[in-house]
Structure 1
């Protein structure tokens, strides 16, 4: 069991250090399902950390971290599902990608690896009350999430990193801004 845990930590470190290499290797080995397992585990842990941070600040109940773990898990999985749908459609329709929706969803699950930084951010917020440092760590986490998601779409659809980045972030962000502007007009 210890050997399995060490192997998982090596894989996560490789994913954080070189997402393209790690995800192509994962795809070649047929281990795409691990992306969803990683996403579920780290989302729940991130929610637990957020609940713990809020509980320590507000003097709340001990059950708050468990509730936040469940809420963050559900909300983040819905976000992953929607993000995967949009990225899949853009990669397939705009850039003629070769992958499947299921593969896209599984591979984008690996974008949860930077949640470790978010967990650390909530721990520093809870223990040291470092708002600026925690906020900066969360920004770094989100940037890294986008970079790993782009590498995941590239590994699944074989469209190149630039096009994958546009599939994951560029075009969906443009659509969201246009929708916000449209709603603002009415």
Structure 2
């Protein structure tokens, strides 16, 4: 099978428009080389080993990015298992998600640390959606607005706890929910 591919009879969705009756050329690097109307297909000269696939009007668009996800398909970050995170990655790809940030609930510190370590350990081993980094919800949040978080995990601002989370995240924590009104947060 060729690395070069042309998807024909596609509905291409860009960041700006929906283009009906189009074709899309993917070069040998796996990058989009051209998007053009089907009327121009006959005038194109592709290498002879180019794979032509008729997608019969299917939508072709960039992959989705999920920046806040606790779980999918029965697997979740609260499992604190690398295998669960990797299963989430595979399942998300079934829905067009190409990258995500597994999100850790506020919980007792050791559970948050274990979840964070599992996410970091899974990075680079994905077979589906790529793990961009860790999203931490808390633990420095307000008890008045705890929502679905475990109240037992809510903490006052504590730099030693913060340092433990940062260490477990190994530079991969990209987002952290905090309550800015808490004493010591600013």
TM-score (norm 1): 0.20
TM-score (norm 2): 0.20
Q: Which has the higher strand share?
A: 2
Q: Which has the larger radius of gyration?
A: 2
